Amino acid sequence: MPRPPETDVYFEVFKAEYTTQYLENYVDIEIFAGRTLRDRIKLGIEVVSVQRDGNGWMLSTRERLTGVEQDYSTSILMIASGLTSVPNMPSLPGEFSGRIMHQ
C-alpha cells in the first residue's frame, strides 16, 4: 500500500479510507484453492453455535436479515465480531476538552 499524503496521516495512523481501500483490493486479488478471500468471507450472519469437529469446526449460523440458517464445516475459524465497528464512547463525569479517537 503506498503511503497516503502527509495531510492524511496522524501520528503514523492513516485515515480509514486508505486502509479500507487496501483491504477491499486485497480480498479480491488473494486467491487460495481457486477462491478469493471475498468469496470466503461471510458478513451479516449470527453464529448460533460452534463445536469442535475433529481437527476442524462445525458452525451453525443464521443470516440477520433473512433468518436463513446454514451450517459450515471448516478447518480454520476466525472470529471478526465487529466489536469495534461502532464507537463505544463512554460517558464520563467531569469535563474533557481534548480529542477523543476511536481506533
**Mean of pLDDT values over 14-43:** 87
> By three-state DSSP, how is residue 19 classified?
helix
Give the pLDDT band of residue 67 (cuts 50, 70, 90).
Answer: very high
Distance from C-alpha of 83 to C-alpha of 8, rounded to nearest angstrom? 25
Which three-class secondary structure state does DSSP give residue 18?
Answer: helix
pLDDT in the model for residue 69: 96
pLDDT at 103: 57
The answer to whether residue 94 scores a pLDDT higher than 80 is: no
Q: Which three cell numbers stand for residue 58?
A: 462445525
Residue type at 46 in one-letter notation: E
**Rounded alpha-carbon distances, angstroms, from residue 16 to 4, 8, 9, 103:** 11, 9, 10, 10
Q: How far is CA 25 from CA 4, 7, 36, in A?
A: 16, 23, 11
Would the pLDDT of 99 be above 80? no
Query: How much is the average pLDDT of 80-97?
Result: 67
Instruction: Determine the pLDDT at residue 70.
Output: 95
Q: Give pTM, 2 decimals.
A: 0.50
